[in-house]
């Protein structure tokens, strides 16, 4: 479409779910510090991207903070980072940081570059551009806040962007009263009442419905695991596409200003971290090699977390080699660990492994008993590993 110089247009950056102050129990020591710093660096990158793309403002669709009780140091660093961004920042309270009596957002109200969306009244944020919010005033709303904000709104010649936080469908059998009615939203889009709905809550980037005008931006930095198969082939599980921000451009024709706007959405990678959940099946030395080689292939190990679910059956020798090399790799990663829900490996000693062991009597009987129980008892498996290793080392 060729645009007239009198067309209404705006470009802005849509992001959400910073959850500043979030801690991950599997990130110890300096890895936790790197993770915290990376979340602030992601916000700085949002500012750089907004400036590069000519954005008029940055819109954060909820869960700016992990909760309403943060360490003062964390809050001050977060506010200073957002205040220093090159364009105005509009923050929507979400379910992690609702606008309640002790809301953390009250600390931001006196800052000139940060604007808290505290009601659903349309506000002009640029020439001919309105913003309508659906802020969470309680942690668990009892109705559809987006639908409530749309009530009474009429089609407009201005560009009108709406921002909400929540889901459009329930997961499982739970009936949630606050689900966003996507049909209601699409009716408002078709009539020119709104031109785009910016959503937060889901941490993966996703377009909803059929219009291309309703999006989850996803979190700008990874927060949870993407489930992968043996050697990195993705599944549909977990946080599948986080670490992004959306540059949104909207044009509304001057000749028919109430009709549907033209909307362009471009995804940009922002984040540095990746959390992967691997499910390798190991049954011989070759599969152990494949798993270890895959771990070695990660480029940015310092900002990579790998949780693995081991299953299969290995000899004692292959099991010990696997454990030794995983221990050697572990310091290179942000975190590298076996999930508590991992099925674990079955021990299947080869005949020559047991025959060549210089162990007899009670020790031999103990090892055989541990091996018999290792398939269903983690303590027995660990005990068998230890006894086998000590026996091997004693022979050197």
Q: What is the pLDDT of residues 48-94, one digit of tens each?
A: 999 999 999 999 999 999 999 888 999 999 999 999 999 999 999 99
What residues contact residue 59 under an 8 Å CB cut-off, 6+ apart?
12, 13, 14, 15, 90, 92, 131, 161, 163, 198
What residues contact residue 105 under an 8 Å CB cut-off, 6+ apart?
64, 91, 93, 97, 99, 116, 118
d(CA 121, CA 191): 19
Residue 103 has pLDDT above 90, yes or no: yes
Q: What is the pLDDT of residues 160-186, one digit of tens each?
A: 999 999 999 866 566 789 999 999 999
Q: What is the pLDDT of residues 142-160, one digit of tens each?
A: 999 999 999 989 999 899 9
**Which tops the pLDDT comparison, 295 or 257?**
295
Average pLDDT, the chain: 87
Residue 282 has pLDDT above 50, yes or no: yes
The predicted structure's pLDDT at residue 392: 47
| CA 261 to the chain's CA centroid | 30
The predicted structure's pLDDT at residue 196: 98
Residue 194 has pLDDT above 90, yes or no: yes
The predicted structure's pLDDT at residue 395: 44
Residue 382 has pLDDT above 80, yes or no: no
């Amino acid at each position: 479409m060729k645009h007239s110089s009198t067309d209404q247009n705006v470009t802005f950056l849509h992001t959400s779910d910073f959850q500043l102050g979030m801690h991950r129990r599997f990130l110890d020591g300096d890895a936790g510090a790197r993770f915290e710093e990376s979340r602030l660096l992601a916000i700085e990158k949002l500012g750089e991207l907004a400036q590069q793309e000519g954005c008029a403002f940055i819109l954060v669709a909820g869960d700016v903070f992990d909760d309403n009780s943060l360490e003062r140091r964390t809050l001050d660093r977060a506010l200073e980072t957002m205040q220093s961004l090159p364009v105005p920042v509009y923050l929507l309270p979400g379910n992690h940081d609702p606008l309640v009596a002790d809301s953390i957002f009250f600390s931001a109200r006196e800052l000139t570059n940060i604007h808290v969306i505290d009601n659903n009244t349309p506000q002009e944020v640029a020439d001919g551009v309105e913003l309508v919010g659906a802020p969470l005033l309680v942690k668990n709303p009892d109705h559809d806040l987006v639908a409530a904000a749309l009530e009474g709104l009429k089609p407009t010649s201005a560009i009108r962007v709406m921002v909400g936080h929540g889901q459009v469908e329930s997961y499982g059998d739970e009936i949630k009263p606050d689900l966003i009615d996507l049909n209601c939203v699409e009716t408002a889009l078709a009539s020119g009442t709104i031109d785009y709905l910016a959503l937060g809550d889901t941490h993966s980037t996703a377009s909803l419905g059929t219009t291309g005008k309703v999006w989850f931006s996803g979190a700008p930095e990874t927060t949870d695991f993407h489930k992968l198969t043996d050697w990195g082939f993705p599944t549909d599980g977990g946080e599948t596409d986080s670490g992004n921000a959306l540059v949104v451009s909207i044009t509304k024709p001057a000749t028919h200003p109430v009709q549907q706007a033209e909307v362009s959405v471009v995804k940009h990678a922002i984040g540095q971290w990746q959390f992967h959940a691997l499910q390798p099946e190991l049954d011989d030395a070759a599969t152990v090699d494949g798993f270890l080689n895959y771990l070695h292939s990660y480029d940015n190990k310092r900002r990579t977390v790998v949780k693995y679910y081991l299953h299969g059956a290995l000899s004692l020798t292959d099991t010990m080699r696997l454990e030794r090399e995983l221990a050697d790799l572990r310091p290179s990663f942000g975190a590298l660990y076996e999930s508590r829900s991992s099925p674990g490996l079955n021990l299947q000693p080869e005949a020559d492994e047991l025959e060549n062991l210089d162990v007899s009597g009670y020790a031999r009987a103990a090892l055989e008993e541990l091996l018999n129980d290792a398939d269903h008892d983690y303590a027995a498996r660990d005990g068998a590993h230890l006894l086998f290793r000590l026996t091997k080392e004693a022979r050197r």
